[in-house]
Structure formats: structure tokens, C-alpha cells
């Protein structure tokens, strides 16, 4: 397990690693799905989105096309392309473009992505970080979204 202070970075993923995440996602879609709320915050030219993954749940993300910060708080195993790492505590990790994460939460775990943007709506921000917006929890018809726009 990696301690809370480390130099982990998430690199761009190979096509093979992305395919592994896609196969996992396809298998998971055959199982009952967990409703996961998304919190969106726009402040100071930044966009942050947070999901809370309940203990025992595996969540896969969309293909991220830009570099971001990946912030995790809890205890989870994270697929970072070619390997998995177990993280406990709170971690702020630089994450490269071209990646598709999978997270197995061992305890209730919050995952936040942050990036600089000029977007002013959730839809604009989502289109900026992925071409797979249709796969986002926040786009489900019964999605639970909270949105804060500070105007700063």
C-alpha cells in the first residue's frame, strides 16, 4: 500500500491498458449498477468533479483526453495502466492525458478530478475532458448532480 506522501504520477496509458479497462467496464455493465452522484465546482478558472464510490464498488471512468489532477480520499485499488496501486488516505496525483481509470473502493472513497478551464457549464467541461460524455454518471437521466459556480 502506498502511504499518503509519495511521488506517484499516473502516466498516459497504452492502447492495451485502455482495452483492459474497457473489457472490465463491459463486464461490470452486466451487473446491477450503483447510483453515484457527481459534485461539480467551477471556481477561479478551474473545474473540479467529485464522485463518491461506496465500499465494495468498482467504478470505471471514461477515456480522459487532457492532463488533470487526480485526488483520491479513502482506501482503494486503482488501475493506472499496466498495473494497479492500492492507495489509503488522501492523495493528490498528477495524471496525464489518455487514460481510463478503474477504481475498486475498499472503504467509501471520494475521487476528484481537477483541471484549468474556461468552461462555464458542466456540459462544456465534460466535453473538454472526454469524447465519451454519454458514459458519464452525470449524464444519466436520473443523475444526481450538485453544481457550484462561484463566479470568480
Separation between Cα atoms, residue 23 and residue 144, nearest integer Å: 26
CATH number at residue 113: 2.60.120.10
Is 81 within the bounds of a domain?
yes
Q: CA–CA distance from 119 to each of 58, 123, 130 (Å)? A: 29, 8, 13
Is 4 within the bounds of a domain?
no
Q: Tens of pLDDT along 56-92?
A: 999 999 999 999 999 999 999 999 877 899 999 999 9
Is 82 within the bounds of a domain?
yes
| pLDDT for position 6 | 54
List residues bridging with 93 in a β-sheet.
70
Q: Identify the weakest region by mean pLDDT among 16-20, 93-97, 105-109, 140-144.
A: 140-144
Asked if residue 114 lies in contact with residue 48, where contact means CB atoms within 8 angstroms, the answer is yes
Q: Tens of pLDDT along 125-146?
A: 999 999 999 999 899 888 899 9
Is 2 within the bounds of a domain?
no
Q: What is the mean pLDDT of residues 37-46?
A: 97
Print the domain residue range for 120: 15-149
Is 8 within the bounds of a domain?
no
Separation between Cα atoms, residue 152 and residue 134, nearest integer Å: 29
Residue 49 class from Cβ within 10 Å (0-12 exposed, 13-18 middle, 19+ buried)?
buried
Cβ of 129: how many Cβ atoms within 10 Å?
24
* pLDDT of 104 above 60: yes
Q: What are φ and ψ of residue 83, in 5° steps?
A: -155, 165
pTM given for the model? 0.90
Separation between Cα atoms, residue 34 and residue 51, nearest integer Å: 12
| pLDDT for position 111 | 97
Q: Tell me the residue ranges of DSSP E strands in 96-140.
A: 102-105, 109-116
Cα angle vertex 76, ends 73, 78, to 5°? 105
Is 134 within the bounds of a domain?
yes
Domains in the chain: how many in total?
1
Task: State CA 104 to chain mean position distance.
Answer: 12
Cβ of 102: how many Cβ atoms within 10 Å?
20
Is 59 within the bounds of a domain?
yes
Is 92 within the bounds of a domain?
yes
Separation between Cα atoms, residue 86 and residue 79, nearest integer Å: 9
Amino acid at each position: 500500500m502506498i502511504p499518503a506522501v509519495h511521488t506517484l504520477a499516473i502516466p498516459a496509458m497504452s492502447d492495451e491498458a485502455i482495452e483492459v479497462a474497457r473489457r472490465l467496464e463491459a463486464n461490470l455493465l452486466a451487473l446491477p449498477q450503483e447510483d453515484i452522484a457527481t459534485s461539480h465546482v467551477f471556481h477561479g478558472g478551474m473545474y473540479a468533479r467529485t464522485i463518491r464510490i461506496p465500499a465494495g464498488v468498482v467504478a470505471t471512468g471514461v477515456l480522459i483526453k487532457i492532463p488533470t489532477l487526480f485526488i483520491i480520499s479513502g482506501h482503494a485499488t486503482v488501475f493506472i495502466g499496466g498495473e494497479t496501486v492500492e492507495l489509503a488516505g488522501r492523495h493528490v496525483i498528477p495524471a496525464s492525458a489518455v487514460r481510463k481509470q478503474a477504481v475498486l473502493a475498499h472503504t467509501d472513497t471520494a475521487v476528484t478530478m481537477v483541471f484549468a478551464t474556461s468552461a462555464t457549464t458542466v456540459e462544456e467541461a465534460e466535453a473538454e475532458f472526454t469524447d465519451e460524455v454519454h458514459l458519464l454518471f452525470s449524464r444519466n437521466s436520473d443523475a444526481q448532480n450538485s453544481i457550484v459556480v462561484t463566479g470568480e
